[in-house]
């Protein structure tokens, strides 16, 4: 049985300990999308450090249809926040690509989250910050993140918690239900996470924790995604010479 209160309290203590050891006077800087993960990470940081030491960074690419949810979160928590529109940066980089290079669709999809992470770090280094990673175990399990985009950070409160568990903690933190239960959309191509993945987070979470899943095809799909994306969670392979 998942004890959300126990895990929430332990996570808050862990964040405090991280900052005690890795930036006693630093601020937690969180990229705010308006989804559950960034909302819950920000709320955990507020409980751990106080709202004056948490900074939100909102990063629409042009018009963001649900940016009101991001503002709902920062206003609910009462945290300092900045909005940086990344559209011009994305367009400029794509426009600077050399003639004759056919920039792949996947490269175009993954460019905004990489620019967002560069933006979060630029803000972080300007406000004496440490960047929070907002990925959860369910997403990481099947590689549902952009390498050197939303997959990185200086500390990660949710990496060993499934979506189901994260949502329990979100409700416990007193966040507005519309943030915790918001249908997750990848923010890249406009589809929901579950449309892209081919299975629900509920199915995935049960499989991660128990190894049980009724649909054999979905089991094979999850296993394949897990296998092929493990490199995202591992340290970069390095040649070590015999000296």
Percent of the chain predicted with pLDDT > 90: 90
Contact by Cβ (8 Å): 116, 150:
yes
Q: What is the tens place of the pLDDT at every residue in 113-154?
A: 999 999 999 999 999 999 999 999 999 999 999 999 999 999
User: Can you give the pTM of this predicted structure?
Assistant: 0.94
Over residues 209-215, mean pLDDT: 96
Q: What angle do CA 36, 41, 46 make, to 5 degrees?
A: 125
Asked if the 4-183 domain carries CATH number 3.40.50.620, the reply is yes
Q: In the structure, what pLDDT confidence band is assigned to residue 189 with cuts at 50, 70 and 90?
A: low
- pLDDT, tens digit, for every residue of 157-177? 999 999 999 999 999 999 999
What digits encode the pLDDT tens for the residues 93-111? 999 999 999 999 999 999 9
Residues 6+ apart with CB under 8 A from 81: 32, 55, 56, 57, 58, 74
Condensed to tens digits (0 to 9), the pLDDT of residues 20-68 reads: 999 999 999 999 999 999 999 999 999 999 999 999 999 999 999 999 9
The token pair that represents 179 in the structure block: 């943030």
- What sign for the dihedral angle of Cα 159, 20, 51, 148? negative
Nearest to 41 by CA among 166, 126, 154: 166
Q: Per-domain residue ranges for the chain? A: 4-183
């Amino acid at each position: 049985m998942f004890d959300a209160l126990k895990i929430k309290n332990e996570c808050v203590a862990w964040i405090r300990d991280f900052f005690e050891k890795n930036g006693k006077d630093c601020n937690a800087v969180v990229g705010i999308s308006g989804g559950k993960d960034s909302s819950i990470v920000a709320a955990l940081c507020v409980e751990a450090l106080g709202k004056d030491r948490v900074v939100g960074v909102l990063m629409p690419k042009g018009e963001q249809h649900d940016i009101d949810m991001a503002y709902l979160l920062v206003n609910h928590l009462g945290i300092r926040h900045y909005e940086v529109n990344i559209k011009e940066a994305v367009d400029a980089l794509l426009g600077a690509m050399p003639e004759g290079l056919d920039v792949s669709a996947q490269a175009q999809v993954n460019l905004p989250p990489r620019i967002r992470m560069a933006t979060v770090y630029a803000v972080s280094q300007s406000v004496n910050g440490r960047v929070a990673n907002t990925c959860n175990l369910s997403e990481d399990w099947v590689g549902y993140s952009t390498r050197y985009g939303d997959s990185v950070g200086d500390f990660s409160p949710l990496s060993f918690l499934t979506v189901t568990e994260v949502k329990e903690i979100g409700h416990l933190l007193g966040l507005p239900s519309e943030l915790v239960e918001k249908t997750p959309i990848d923010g890249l191509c406009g589809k929901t996470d579950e449309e892209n993945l081919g299975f629900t987070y509920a199915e995935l979470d049960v499989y991660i924790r128990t190894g049980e899943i009724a649909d054999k095809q979905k089991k094979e799909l999850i296993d394949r995604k897990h296998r092929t994306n493990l490199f995202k969670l591992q340290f970069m392979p390095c040649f070590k010479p015999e000296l």
